[in-house]
C-alpha cells in the first residue's frame, strides 16, 4: 500500500488467504497503538492468533495525548526457522493527510461477524509474506488513525472499559486520599472550637464576668473570708417628739420666695403644725376656692369617721320571683372584677364575677334561665351637676351601684375610658357566663334565698386607691357608702350632704362649704384651704391626743409620694423641688385653671408639717411645678 494512503480503522483487510479460513471469519484482530508513527517498508509485525477461549474485540474509544504514547511490548511468536521481525520504535512524524473517516464501533459479540470485504488490490508496494507455519501478520495502522482506549465486549452485550496493559505487572493501588469534604469539615470544626475557646477565655477575663462568677482573678474578689451575715431589722422612724418646734416666722421666711411665684396665679394656703395645731402660715386660707380632686380628702375623711375601716361592700344574687330566675342585688361595689381568678385588675383585692357565677350554679343546680338586676340602693341621676358632657365616660363612669372594674374598658389600665352603662354590662356578662338570659331591671323579693355573694376589699384599701390614683368613680362610690351608712339618700346630693354632716359632727367647720359630688370633678365645689389643712392636721396628729386621729390615720397611707407613686410619681424632678422627693406626701387636684396640693411633709429637723395650697387662674404645668417648690421648701427649712 502506498505510504500516502491510509486504510480505515478498524481495517477491513483479511489475514486469511483465498485458500484459508478462520473461526473468526478472517477479521483482523484490532490492537490499540500509539498515533502518528512511521513504518518501515520491509519489517512485518507478528501477533499471536486469537484464542478460542476468550474472543475479544477492541473498539476505538478516544485518541490519547501524544505524551501518553507508550512502547508496546509485543509477545514473541513461536520459535521458527526464521528470526521474527521486531517492531521498531516508532518516531513521531506528521501525518501526510488527515484521516479519511472516523472509526466505527465494533459489532456486538452476540451478533455473527460478517466476513470482511476485500479491498481492491493496489499496484503499489506490497508487504512481504510471512514464512511458512507463522501466524498471520497485521499491518500497523498509520499515524493518522486516532488512538483508542480498548473496550472489552462481554457476551452479555454490556460494554466495560478494559484496562490497557503494557505487559508489566500493575503496581498495588495506593489508598484513596481522605475525601476533601471530610477534611474541610474537620478543619471548620477545629476553627470553630478554637474561636469558642478564645471567646470563653476572653469573657472569663472580663472584670464583670469574673466578679459575678467569683473567679480567682476577679478584681473584686474578697481578699479575706466573707463576714458572717448580720440580721437587720427594718423599721420606720417616727417623727421625733423632741424635734425643735417650727415657728411662724421661720415658715414665712422659707415660703416668701416660692409662694410669690407668678406662675401660681392667685394662691391661697395654710401650714399647720399637727403636733400643736398651730397655724404657722396663712395666705387667705379662709377664702373659698375650687378644690378639684382635693375634695377626696373630705370624702374619705367622712367615710372613715362614719364607718369602720374594714367595712366591705357586698354584691348578692338571690332567688327571683320564679325558680328559674335570679336577681343580682347591687350593693355599691364598683370594683367587681371581670378577670379570671388569679388575675388582678387596677383594684387590688377585688372580688371576681366568676366566683359569683360559680356559687349561683352550685346553689341553683343549673336551673337558672333568666337573670335580672336590682340597683335600687342608689337613687338619682348618674352624673353630677357641673360635669361636662364628656366627663363620663372619659374621667369617670355613669354612677351605678355595681360595675365591673369600675366601668373601665381595660381592667388593667385606670386611664382607659369607661363603659356607658356599667350596671347593664354587669347583667349581660353575668347572664352570659351563667348560661342564662338577661332580663332587665327588677326588685329583689324580700327575704329571698341567697344563691351567691361576694365582697369588696375593705374600706381602708378602697380609700387608699381612690387617693393615690385619684379615682373619681371610686370616690363618688365611697360618698354613697357614707350616705347609706348614715341613712341619707344615696344620690349625688345626698352623698355630698352626708359627707359634710359627718365632718360637722366631728368638729370641723364646714359652714358655707358646697359640694356637688364627692370626687371633685365638679367645678361647682367650693372649699377653703384651711378646712383641708385642718382635716390633715388631725390625721397626722400625735397618737392619743385626739380621738379622731386614729380613725383618720388610714387616709395618710393613700397619699401619693413625691416622685414615687400615684399622681406625684413623675413630679419633683426639677432641681428646685428635688429636695421634697420622697418626703412630701400629698393629694393633687387639677381642673381647668385650678391646681391644688394638700398633704404632709417631714422637715429636716424631723418635724411633721401639714400644708394645703390652692392656685387659681394659672396654667397647668407652671402652676404644678411652682406648687412642688413650695412644698419642697417646707422640707428644707428648720423653720425655727
pLDDT tens-place string over residues 266-323: 999 999 999 999 999 999 999 999 999 999 999 999 999 999 999 999 999 999 999 9
Give 296's contacts (C-beta < 8 A, 6+ positions apart): 466, 467, 470, 475, 518, 519, 520, 587
Q: What is the pLDDT of residue 58?
A: 46
Distance from C-alpha of 318 to C-alpha of 408, rounded to nearest angstrom: 26
284 & 422 share domain: no
Q: What is the pLDDT of residue 233?
A: 73
Q: Is the pLDDT of residue 338 over 80?
A: yes
The residue among 494, 432, 457 whose CA lies nearest residue 466 is: 457
Whether 11 is a known active-site residue: answer: no
Catalytic residue among 470, 516, 579, 633: 470
Q: What is the pLDDT of residue 104?
A: 45
Q: Binning pLDDT at 50, 70 and 90, where does residue 494 land?
A: very high
Q: Is the pLDDT of residue 73 over 50?
A: no
Contact 363, 451 (CB under 8 A): yes
Answer with the residue of higher pLDDT: 56 or 458.
458
Asked which of 166, 195, 221 is the last residue of a domain, the reply is 166
Look over the chain and give the mean of its residue pLDDT values, rounded to a whole number: 80
325 & 302 share domain: no
The residue among 307, 276, 253 whose CA lies nearest residue 462 is: 307
Does 534 reside within a domain?
yes
69 & 152 share domain: yes
DSSP 3-state of 4: coil
- The whole-model pTM stands at 0.66
| Alpha-helical runs (H) found in 349-471 | 353-364, 391-394, 422-434, 459-468
Q: What is the pLDDT of residue 185?
A: 73
Backbone φ, ψ for residue 492 (5° rounding): -60, -50
Whether 248 is a known active-site residue: answer: no
Report the pLDDT averaged over residues 456-460: 98
384 & 518 share domain: no
58 & 145 share domain: yes
Give 510's contacts (C-beta < 8 A, 6+ positions apart): 500, 503, 504, 531
Does 514 reside within a domain?
yes
Count of other CB atoms within 10 angstroms of residue 433: 16
Answer with the residue of higher pLDDT: 155 or 225.
225
Whether 21 is a known active-site residue: answer: no
Q: What is the pLDDT of residue 203?
A: 73
295 & 323 share domain: no
324 & 291 share domain: no
Side-chain-side CA neighbours of residue 96 (13 Å): 8
What's the total number of domains in the chain? Answer: 3
Q: How far is CA 169 from the centre of its chain?
A: 73
**pLDDT per residue as tens digits for the range 46-71:** 555 555 444 444 444 444 444 444 44
Burial class (CB in 10 A: 0-12, 13-18, 19+), 369: middle
Determine the structural domain holding residue 100 and report its residue range: 1-17+25-166
Backbone φ, ψ for residue 445 (5° rounding): -60, 150
318 & 303 share domain: no
Does 586 reside within a domain?
yes
Q: Binning pLDDT at 50, 70 and 90, where does residue 232 land?
A: confident
526 & 629 share domain: yes
328 & 265 share domain: no
Cell triple for residue 83?
A: 528470526
Distance from C-alpha of 89 to C-alpha of 164, rounded to nearest angstrom: 19
Distance from C-alpha of 442 to C-alpha of 320, rounded to nearest angstrom: 9
Asked which of 166, 198, 227 is the last residue of a domain, the reply is 166
Count of other CB atoms within 10 angstroms of residue 107: 14
Does 483 reside within a domain?
no
- Answer whether the bond into residue 393 is a cis peptide, omega within 30°: yes
The residue among 275, 442, 312 whose CA lies nearest residue 375 is: 442
Burial class (CB in 10 A: 0-12, 13-18, 19+), 243: middle
Catalytic residue among 293, 364, 460, 522: 293
Answer with the residue of higher pLDDT: 39 or 230.
230
Asked which of 118, 145, 166 is the last residue of a domain, the reply is 166
Report the pLDDT averaged over residues 372-391: 97
349 & 447 share domain: yes
Contacts for 252-259: CB closer than 8 Å, 24+ residues apart: 252/280, 252/281, 253/637, 254/633, 254/634, 254/636, 254/637, 254/639, 255/281, 255/630, 255/633, 255/634, 257/633, 258/626, 258/629, 258/630, 258/633, 259/283, 259/630
Does 299 reside within a domain?
yes
Does 488 reside within a domain?
no
146 & 130 share domain: yes
- In the sheet with 314-319, reading across from the earlier edge strand, the strands are 437-441, 370-374, 325-329, 314-319, 450-455
Does 621 reside within a domain?
yes
Does 97 reside within a domain?
yes
Q: Binning pLDDT at 50, 70 and 90, where does residue 13 land?
A: very low
Q: Binning pLDDT at 50, 70 and 90, where does residue 33 land?
A: very low
Report the pLDDT averaged over residues 15-42: 46
Catalytic residue among 36, 296, 316, 551: 296
Amino acid at each position: 500500500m502506498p505510504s500516502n494512503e491510509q486504510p480505515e480503522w478498524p481495517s477491513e483487510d483479511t489475514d486469511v488467504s483465498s485458500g484459508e479460513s478462520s473461526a473468526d471469519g478472517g477479521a483482523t484482530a484490532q490492537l490499540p497503538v500509539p498515533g502518528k508513527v512511521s513504518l518501515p517498508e520491509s519489517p512485518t509485525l507478528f501477533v499471536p492468533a486469537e484464542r478460542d477461549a476468550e474472543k475479544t474485540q477492541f473498539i476505538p474509544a478516544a485518541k490519547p495525548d501524544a505524551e501518553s504514547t507508550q512502547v508496546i511490548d509485543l509477545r514473541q511468536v513461536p520459535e521458527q526457522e526464521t528470526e521474527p521481525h521486531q517492531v521498531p520504535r516508532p518516531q513521531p512524524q506528521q501525518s501526510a493527510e488527515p484521516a479519511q473517516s472516523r472509526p466505527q464501533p465494533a459489532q456486538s459479540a452476540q451478533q455473527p461477524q460478517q466476513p470482511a470485504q476485500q479491498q481492491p488490490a493496489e499496484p503499489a508496494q506490497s508487504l512481504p509474506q510471512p514464512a511458512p507455519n507463522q501466524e498471520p501478520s497485521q499491518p500497523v495502522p498509520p499515524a493518522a488513525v486516532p488512538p483508542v482506549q480498548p473496550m472489552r465486549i462481554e457476551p452479555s452485550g454490556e460494554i466495560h472499559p478494559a484496562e490497557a496493559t503494557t505487559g508489566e505487572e500493575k503496581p498495588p493501588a495506593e489508598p484513596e486520599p481522605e475525601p476533601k469534604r471530610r477534611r474541610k469539615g474537620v478543619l471548620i470544626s477545629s476553627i470553630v472550637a478554637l474561636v469558642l475557646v478564645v471567646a470563653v477565655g476572653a469573657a472569663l477575663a472580663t472584670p464583670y464576668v469574673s466578679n459575678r462568677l467569683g473567679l480567682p482573678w476577679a478584681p473584686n474578689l474578697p481578699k479575706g473570708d466573707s463576714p458572717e451575715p448580720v440580721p437587720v431589722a427594718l423599721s420606720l422612724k417616727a417623727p421625733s417628739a423632741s424635734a425643735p418646734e417650727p415657728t411662724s416666722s421661720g415658715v414665712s421666711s422659707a415660703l416668701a420666695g416660692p409662694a410669690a411665684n407668678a406662675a401660681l396665679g392667685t394662691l391661697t394656703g395654710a401650714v399647720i403644725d399637727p403636733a400643736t395645731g398651730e397655724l404657722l402660715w396663712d395666705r387667705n386660707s379662709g377664702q373659698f376656692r375650687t378644690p378639684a380632686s382635693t375634695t377626696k380628702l373630705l370624702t374619705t375623711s367622712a367615710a372613715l369617721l362614719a364607718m369602720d375601716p374594714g367595712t366591705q361592700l357586698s354584691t348578692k344574687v338571690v332567688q327571683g320571683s320564679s325558680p328559674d330566675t335570679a336577681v343580682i342585688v347591687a350593693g355599691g361595689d364598683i370594683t367587681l372584677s371581670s378577670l379570671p381568678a388569679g388575675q388582678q385588675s387596677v383594684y387590688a383585692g377585688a372580688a371576681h364575677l366568676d366566683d359569683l357565677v360559680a356559687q349561683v350554679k352550685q346553689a341553683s343546680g343549673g336551673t337558672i334561665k333568666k337573670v335580672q338586676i336590682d340597683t335600687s340602693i342608689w337613687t338619682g341621676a348618674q352624673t353630677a351637676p357641673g360635669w361636662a358632657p364628656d366627663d363620663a365616660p372619659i374621667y369617670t363612669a355613669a354612677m351605678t351601684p355595681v360595675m365591673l372594674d369600675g366601668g373601665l374598658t381595660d381592667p388593667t389600665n385606670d386611664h382607659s375610658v369607661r363603659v356607658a352603662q356599667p350596671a347593664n354590662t354587669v347583667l349581660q356578662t353575668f347572664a352570659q357566663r351563667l348560661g342564662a338570659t338577661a332580663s332587665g331591671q327588677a326588685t329583689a323579693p324580700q327575704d329571698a334565698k341567697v344563691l351567691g355573694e361576694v365582697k369588696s376589699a375593705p374600706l381602708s384599701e378602697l380609700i387608699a386607691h381612690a387617693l393615690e390614683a385619684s379615682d373619681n368613680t371610686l370616690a363618688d362610690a365611697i360618698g354613697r357608702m357614707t350616705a347609706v351608712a348614715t341613712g341619707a339618700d344615696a344620690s349625688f346630693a345626698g352623698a355630698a350632704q352626708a359627707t359634710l354632716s359627718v365632718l360637722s359632727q366631728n368638729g370641723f367647720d364646714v359652714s358655707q362649704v358646697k359640694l356637688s359630688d364627692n370626687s371633685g370633678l365638679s367645678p361647682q365645689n367650693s372649699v377653703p384651704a384651711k378646712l383641708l389643712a385642718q382635716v390633715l392636721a388631725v390625721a397626722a396628729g400625735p397618737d392619743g391626743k385626739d380621738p379622731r386621729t386614729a380613725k383618720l390615720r388610714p387616709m395618710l397611707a393613700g397619699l401619693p409620694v413625691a416622685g414615687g407613686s400615684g399622681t406625684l410619681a413623675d413630679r419633683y424632678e426639677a432641681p428646685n423641688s428635688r429636695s421634697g422627693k420622697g418626703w412630701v406626701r400629698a393629694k393633687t387636684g387639677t381642673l381647668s385653671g385650678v391646681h391644688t396640693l394638700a398633704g404632709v411633709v417631714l422637715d429636716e429637723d424631723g418635724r411633721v408639717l401639714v400644708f394645703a395650697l390652692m392656685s387659681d387662674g394659672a396654667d397647668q404645668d407652671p402652676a404644678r411645678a411652682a406648687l412642688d417648690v413650695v412644698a419642697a421648701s417646707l422640707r428644707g427649712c428648720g423653720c425655727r
